[in-house]
Structure formats: structure tokens, C-alpha cells
Amino acid sequence: MRENEFGTELRTGAYAVSTSTTPTAAAAIRRRGDQRRRRNAIASGALAFLLGAGGGGVAYASFSHPVSGSNSPSATGGATGRASGAPAAVPGASRPGIVAVTTGGQVEVLNSTTGVVAATLTGMQDAIGDEVAVSPSGQTVYFAARQDCGDKIESVPIGGGKATAITSGVLPAISPDGTEIAFVRESYSGGPSEISYTCGGVDQTKKAEVVVRDLANGSEQAYPAPPNALAWPVSHVSWSPDGETLLVSAGPATGTQSWDLLALNLASAQYYAPLSAGTAGNTDIQPGEGSGNYYREGAYLPDGAIFVNQLCCTSSTSSNGTVMSSLLLEITQSGQQVKQVAEGDLTRDHTSLDATKGWLLYLSGNDLFVSDNGATPVALSSGFIAAAWVPGAS
């Protein structure tokens, strides 16, 4: 189905639904709202009484609060569905900490055993995702925040404090030695080529570029998108353990393309397959099986292997006869499978892949999963758009 046909069919069908509907009378809706309002008032009064406030001040308990200065309701999920204290039965004696960005835009530090929030580092809507990173010392958290016509990267001490703006961009990733930050500067790029975005009357639709910035002196080196990329959505950037290569997860520019996992050699400024280092070019890392397979996202492990989400299109079959799959794998740099960590949910995006010594994490939709050394992942908590390990923390 073509793009324009899709939109036309969608609009025509939804219009048919709307015109064949007999809505409830407005007065009945108002009565429903009034009943809810009275119930909330009673509940709030009872709660206040139980809490020792005397019950005299009846507060209006709203379900979803509009954002200050916004016409839209606030993004919920900061605490919705999150673990409330029961330890998750994840194997392993000690583990690193976790930082995460909630769907409500808060940066939080999590207890990686229980999923309970240990500290909140920002206010609601401060962080936009899609990634969060922590310095090798475990002391500084980097995240993206909104600003005018673009996004910016900020840092905040993991112990709490004022956020500091670093530069414009998204998807921060800190080098293994902690001296550089890689990120994507995109001016709202990353979408399909047919979608244009304007801000202040200026067309902002253009390719993204990977940038590596020296955190000490602010000098930057830009690595523009490969020539064959159209608009270039990037979802993840991961440093190799030796600090010489960036793994870049880049998305489809059109509906007929798949995601690519590109290795960017920082010395040669070329994208190439890791084990084809001598063959400069724009070759992506190809999955080892099935021509329809592709890697949705990947992140380096400390030993140089790669933790990936591999999607199969139509060329693979599994034991139960289905023809599509989403696998979380550990692979070598040549694409050979080391182990299968999990089978993902096809209806969800698997993002924010991260690895540290013996531990893997990823998001399945907004659910946070952790794996002890590649063992079956365990759902730790939910309500997140980004997560990362805290190196050195236990």
C-alpha cells in the first residue's frame, strides 16, 4: 500500500466510523463527570482524614494534570506500574546501578535489584530521552533535554544537583576513558524524507551527524551521515571498549529500508563492518542468517562482542512456524551468534541496549529488562524511555 493510499484509507475509514456513531448526550457526559468529581472529593477528604489532616479540606483529586504552560495533559508513567519494593528475583550477588529516563521525562537512579527509585535527578519533562549515559566513574549522568528548535545534552551529578548544559544534540554516549562524549546532532532530523519539519520558518529536515566532543576543551569532530543515507534517524550510539569505534544504530529513511548497525572508525571517519577494517566504505554489519534479517540496535560489551536486537523479516522460520521474530543476541564483531539472550516481543521496540561487566539491560517498549551475563532477562520495572548501567556502582 502506498503512502498516500494509506493516509486516504485511514481518513476515509475513520470518517465512516465517526459518522456511523451515535454519541451519548452531552448532558449524560457532564453527569458522569460530576459523579466522578464528587467521588474524588469524598475520597480525598477521607484520605486527608486518615492521614491526620482532619478531613476538613476537601481536595480535588485530578487523574491527569495538565502541564504547566501546556495545553496537553502531562505525560504519565513516572511511577505508573513501577516496582514498589518487592525485590526482583534476579540471579547474581552484586550488580551495577541503573539510571533511567521515565516516560514523564524524569531522570532517576534505580536500585537494580528491586527496581525501586533510589533518587530523582531532574524534574518532570526535563529529559526527553531517547538515551541516557553515565561517566565511567559513575559520578555524572548525561541526558538530552528540549530546547527551542533543537535538543541539548545536559549533565547532572548522580548524587543530585543542578543540571549543566553541555551542547546541542541527543543520544549521549561517554567514552570508556570518560574524556569524550559522542552524540547525534540532528536539528530534528531523523525522520522519513517526506516529512519536513520547520521551526521559525526554517526547514530543519536534514541528515543527522555523529559528533565526538572533548569534554575538557569543548573541541568537536563531526562525522556526517553516510552518503547513501537519506534522512537518518539514529537511535543509539555505543563506544567500543578500546574507544576507537562507535557503533551507530541508524534507522530506515523510507518504509522499504531496514535499520542498520554501522561501525564508525573514529580515526578514519569511515563506516565499515568491524572485521573488515581494511575495507573502508559504507558497509553495515550484516546479520549472519537470512537475507531478510537486520539489526535494529546494538551495543558493545566490555569484551568487544556486541549485544543486538536482530529482527527477522520473512526469511526465517522458528519452531512454532511463525515467520517473524525479534531476537536479543550476543554476537561477535563478524556477526556470528555467541548466544541468544531472549526472544523479544515483535510488537515492541527493543531499545536502550547497554552492557557492562556481566550485565545486560534493554527496554522492551517501556519495560526495563536486565540479564545476568546473558541469562534469561527479568523485567525489573516499567515506565521508561531510556536506561543505562552505572559503571563501577554496586
Partner 1 sequence: MRDPGSFDAFYNGSVRRLIGQLHAMTGSRTEAEDCVQEAYARAWQRWDKVAGYADPEAWVRTVAYRVSISTWRKAASMRVAHRKHGAPTDDSGLNPDYVAIVTALRQVSTGQRQAIVLHHLVGLSVDEIAQETGAAAGTVKARLSRGRHALAPLLDDADNDSGPRAVRV
Shortest distance, CB of residue 5 to partner 1, whole angstroms? 8
Near partner 1 by CB under 8 A: residue from 58, 75, 119, 277 = 75
Is there binding between residue 44 and partner 1 (CB under 8 A)? no
Question: Is the backbone peptide bond immediately before 242 cis, with ω within 30 degrees of 0?
Answer: no
Is there binding between residue 55 and partner 1 (CB under 8 A)? no
Is there binding between residue 217 and partner 1 (CB under 8 A)? no
Of 146, 253, 267, the C-alpha closest to 206 is 253
Sign of CA dihedral 251, 257, 259, 263: negative
Is there binding between residue 320 and partner 1 (CB under 8 A)? yes
Sign of CA dihedral 294, 361, 163, 65: positive
Q: Which is nearer to partner 1, 386 or 390 (CB)?
A: 386
Residues found in the chain: 394
Interface with partner 1 by CB under 8 A: which range of 47-55, 157-165, 271-279, 311-319? 311-319
Shortest distance, CB of residue 283 to partner 1, whole angstroms? 21
Shortest distance, CB of residue 234 to partner 1, whole angstroms? 8
Interface with partner 1 by CB under 8 A: which range of 83-91, 134-142, 283-291, 320-328? 320-328
Is there binding between residue 240 and partner 1 (CB under 8 A)? no
Q: How many residues bind partner 1 (CB under 8 A)?
A: 91
Strand 350-356 with 359-364, pairing: antiparallel
Is there binding between residue 252 and partner 1 (CB under 8 A)? yes
Q: Which is nearer to partner 1, 17 or 86 (CB)?
A: 17
DSSP code of residue 122: S
Q: Which is nearer to partner 1, 49 or 197 (CB)?
A: 197
Footprint on residues 105-144 left by partner 1 (CB under 8 A): 105, 125, 128-130, 144
**Distance between CA 237 and CA 262 in Å, rounded?**
10
Collapsing DSSP to helix, strand or coil, 390 comes out as strand
Residue 149 corresponds to which cell in the numbers above?
Answer: 528548535
Q: How far is CA 38 from CA 28, 32, 59, 134, 207, in A?
A: 15, 10, 11, 47, 53
Near partner 1 by CB under 8 A: residue from 279, 291, 314, 373 = 314
Question: Is the backbone peptide bond immediately before 130 cis, with ω within 30 degrees of 0?
Answer: yes
Q: For residue 316, what are the contacts with CB-CB under 8 A and spacing of at least 6?
A: 289, 290, 292, 293, 323, 325
Q: Which is nearer to partner 1, 228 or 336 (CB)?
A: 228
Shortest distance, CB of residue 184 to partner 1, whole angstroms? 8
Interface with partner 1 by CB under 8 A: which range of 132-140, 302-310, 321-329, 334-342? 321-329
Other Cβ atoms within 10 Å of 210 Cβ, number: 28
Is there binding between residue 43 and partner 1 (CB under 8 A)? no
253 to 282: interface string for partner 1, x by CB under 8 A: x-xxxxx-----------------------
- H or E stretch covering 199: strand 198-199
Shortest distance, CB of residue 255 to partner 1, whole angstroms? 4
Q: How many helices (H) and strands (E) does the chain have?
A: 2, 26
Q: Which is nearer to partner 1, 303 or 343 (CB)?
A: 343
Residue 380 corresponds to which cell in the numbers above?
Answer: 525489573
Is there binding between residue 165 and partner 1 (CB under 8 A)? no
Query: How does DSSP assign 240-281, residue by residue?
Result: -TTSSEEEEEE--SSTT---EEEEEETTTTEEE-GGGTTS-S
Near partner 1 by CB under 8 A: residue from 140, 168, 235, 309 = 235
Footprint on residues 188-207 left by partner 1 (CB under 8 A): 188-192, 195, 197-199
Is there binding between residue 283 and partner 1 (CB under 8 A)? no
Interface with partner 1 by CB under 8 A: which range of 74-82, 220-228, 282-290, 329-337? 74-82
Footprint on residues 337-376 left by partner 1 (CB under 8 A): 343, 345-349, 365
Greatest C-alpha distance within the chain: 76
What value does the CA radius of gyration of the chain take, rounded to a whole number of Å? 23
